[in-house]
Amino acid sequence: MKTLTCLIVGLLVSPSAWTEESTTDRINAGELKELSMQRKVVKIISKDGKQLEGKVLEYNGESVLFQRQADLQLFRFNLDGLAQQSQRMIKDNYMTANYNVPKLERPLKPETIKKLATYADNLVLEKLRSEKQRPTRDVDDYTFMRRAYLKIIGRIPGKAEIDEFKTEMRGDKLKLINKLLGTEGYVSHQLNYFADILRIQDKLNNTNINSGFRYREWVRNEIRNNTPFNEFVQKLIASEGAYYESGSEPVGFYLRDRGMPLDNLANTVQVFLGTRLECAMCHDHPFDKWTQKQFYEMSAFTDGVSRVRGPQAFQKIVGDFNKITRADKSGDVGTLNQYRNYIRDILGYGLADELGKGTIKLTDAFMEDDAKPGDTLHAKAIFAPPLKIEQGTELPKSREQFSKWITAEANPRFTTVIVNRLWKRAYGIGLIEPVDDMNDNTQSSNPKLLAYLEKIMASVDYDVKEFMRVLYSMDLFTRDSVKDDHKGVETFYFSGPPLQRMTGEQIWDSLVTLVYNNIDSAERVPSNYDEKYQMVFERYNDKTGQEIYDELKAYLAETEKPSRNLAEVVYQLNKAEGIGYEPKKLPARDLIRSSYVGYPARGGHLIRQFGGSDKALIENSNFEATTPQVLNMLNGFVEQKIINNKNADFMKQMAQEKRETGKIEDIFMSILNREPTSKEMNFLKKYIDEKDGAKHIAWILMNSHEFIFIR
């Protein structure tokens, strides 16, 4: 930017710099006037509390160009000379350039990982020293192994995996981390995490079928393919086309909030930019600076997605079939109406708005004085970098522009939020808490560490897997958990990771692992209805409404007990023609990885009893202790599916071991993933040979706090 070389430079390294000028080249008067007119007068505060009023003209990622209000003198100074709230205000509102970091070759080399992780560890230690705290001791190899499995792939290891660790990976933490990050278990665990954030449900809003399967599996494949996070978000926000057409699956992002476009916008900003705007939906925000008008200007980027209607050709098929069905007065009308709902849900939904017009018309719900109902507002971003869509003769593709603006490296909120979320995923508490309610006064518990991690994220081009590889390679990941109560999440400085209970999904997946050690293999992946819905789309997307009606009437006339489920009808028709597939017959269909269980899991399911999210709100899971949890572990799943199931892999392994000590060692290693202490061994020897002694010991360990907590 020309401004960078044509200005009066001032160094704000201390309060005295505010009163001194250093004259070099002077900025072009016209350029200065234009910049100054765009900016409001703000108050900035130095680290030692000194204040100055003026205008922030730009922030390039490292230094700030500031015009003092008193005499219009210009200064250039580093951002870290300011108090945290001033740093946050400037980053969020004035950043105009990308992070000034080189792009790293991926996958990261071991020496690069070590260098990055070591520097991050040093920033943690520096903060601990400043707070007069010490790091906890390192954990033993087995505790590290268990923590790595639970954190990276969301379950405890099976027997073969434990044996592999003993012989090939003990003492080489990066080898284990790399192995786990490359597994299908990592994909499942990450899917559960992002499904909670995106509120993915099997039955998307106001649909009659489980159309959310398609959206869920698309997200799974994006994780499996390690799509960079910025590209993943762009695909969501700029999605278009018929939902059941290949490549249009991310339309599910809008179908999830069908009929609620303003809520979708508020959720988008909360998830990806860490700010809650929902209060500004109805009036100026009472606790933040956002106005109702600004909320609607942001909403203009995605306005038009409300009905989530697909391409016109498919709308015609749906409409024609509906008209013909309504005219049918036969006894088939009830079944035909069911078929009509399937046709609408499979062919009718999508987005065909040429990616948005970038305008919104205010309704009577607008309450403030800076605009009025009936006004048309143009899309305008409320954070830096600036983005405003001017209406022209051509459609501006506002959702596409919005997707690129949100994910731009020059948009600091985007990077800060995903870095903070992933840090919390690895270490239990965010560097900023809460993770999705940031404002100008938000402070980080370790600003230097957060800034460094943001640069790592930019340097790996938003590759989540590589970023997590660095986090899990830190010495912090090998330290003993902090079990004492701490003052609060805002002042937790990571002497070690906080002690955490497993999530409902982690408990479920760990218990199922004791039944099926191959829980993450292709053999344990169930079929789902999305394949049958896809067959409906493929069979009927190029037919007319009349042709579909004629085929279904013939089916009803020729079939003794016709199905009212159109997906099953098409499956039968295809099968008769030699087309289609056979659904997988999976033994114990309910004992599958949590990422394949219903989204959300049904009420009463173990996942829900242990706080699994209902996917109604963003990250709606909890860790509250309840009586049903105890009853389920005491008399429910553990008793029925494991202890009294002779075909459970864990029970078969235990039956093969004949030695007393061997049985006890196997039970401890399989459930708690450690060897028994000598005291535990001597005590349990007295009971192991009693009737069902091994079962009783296993039952006790599965119901222990040690099992459900990540040490």
Give the model confidence (pLDDT) of 484-543 as tens digits. 877 788 899 999 999 999 999 999 999 999 999 999 999 999 988 788 999 999 999 999
Q: Is the pLDDT of residue 634 over 80?
A: no
pLDDT in tens, 270-281: 999 999 998 888
Residue 1: what pLDDT?
33
Q: Is the pLDDT of residue 626 over 60?
A: yes
Helices (H), ranges, 43-109:
84-94
Helix (H) or strand (E) holding 58: strand 51-59
Q: Is the pLDDT of residue 675 over 70?
A: yes
Residue 23: what pLDDT?
35
CB 136 within 8 A of CB 499: no
pLDDT in tens, 233-242: 999 999 999 9
pLDDT in tens, 379-429: 999 887 888 887 765 778 999 999 999 999 988 899 999 999 999 999 999
The mean pLDDT value for 698-711 works out to 95
Q: Which residue, 448, 496, 422, 519, is CA-closest to 159?
A: 519
Contacts (Cβ under 8 Å, ≥6 apart) of 559: none
638 CB neighbour count, 10 Å cutoff = 20
Q: In whole numbers, what is the pLDDT of the chain averaged over residues?
A: 90
Least confident of 9-23, 132-146, 204-218: 9-23
Residue 307: what pLDDT?
87
Tokens 């393919």 sit on residue: 225
The per-residue DSSP string of 135-180 comes to PPPBPPHHHHHHHHHHHHTSS---HHHHHHIIIIITT-HHHHHHHH
pLDDT-derived band at 372, boundaries 50, 70, 90: very high
pLDDT-derived band at 84, boundaries 50, 70, 90: confident
Task: Return the SS3 of 77.
Answer: strand
Pick the more confident residue, 690 or 196: 196
The mean pLDDT value for 148-172 works out to 95
pLDDT-derived band at 9, boundaries 50, 70, 90: very low
Q: Is the pLDDT of residue 76 over 50?
A: yes
Task: Return the SS3 of 2.
Answer: helix
For the beta sheet containing 51-59, the strands, ordered from the edge strand earlier in sequence to the opposite edge, are: 42-45, 51-59, 63-68, 74-78
Residue 393: what pLDDT?
57
Determine the Cα–Cα distance for residues 393 and 396; give it in Å rounded to an integer.
9
Amino acid identity, position 496: G
475 CB neighbour count, 10 Å cutoff = 16
CATH of 2-94, one of 3.30.310.50, 2.30.30.100, 2.40.50.100, 3.40.190.10: 2.30.30.100
Least confident of 42-46, 96-100, 700-704: 96-100
What's the count of helices (H) and strands (E) in the chain, helices before strands?
A: 30, 10
Q: Is the pLDDT of residue 665 over 70?
A: yes
Contacts (Cβ under 8 Å, ≥6 apart) of 682: none
CB 415 within 8 A of CB 458: yes
Helix (H) or strand (E) holding 680: helix 678-688
The mean pLDDT value for 64-80 works out to 89
Residue 14: what pLDDT?
31
Half-sphere exposure of 418 (CA within 13 A, CB side): 27
First to last CA, the chain: 51
pLDDT in tens, 212-231: 999 999 999 999 999 999 99
Instruction: State how far the alpha carbon of 412 is from the alpha carbons of 444, 473, 617, in Å.
Output: 14, 25, 25
Residue 677: what pLDDT?
97
Helix (H) or strand (E) holding 377: strand 376-378
**Which pTM was predicted?**
0.91
Task: Return the SS3 of 507.
Answer: helix
Residue 35: what pLDDT?
66
Residue percentage of the chain with pLDDT more than 70: 95
CB 414 within 8 A of CB 273: yes
Domain boundaries along the sequence of the chain = 2-94, 189-321+343-407, 602-710
Tokens 């028994």 sit on residue: 676
Instruction: State how far the alpha carbon of 190 is from the alpha carbons of 36, 111, 196, 226, 640, in Å.
Output: 45, 26, 10, 11, 29
The mean pLDDT value for 186-196 works out to 98
Q: Is the pLDDT of residue 125 over 60?
A: yes
DSSP state of 380: B
Residue 38: what pLDDT?
76
Residue 5: what pLDDT?
23
The mean pLDDT value for 119-143 works out to 97
Residue 72: what pLDDT?
87
Instruction: State how far the alpha carbon of 486 is from the alpha carbons of 311, 341, 500, in Å.
Output: 55, 54, 13
Residue 32: what pLDDT?
64
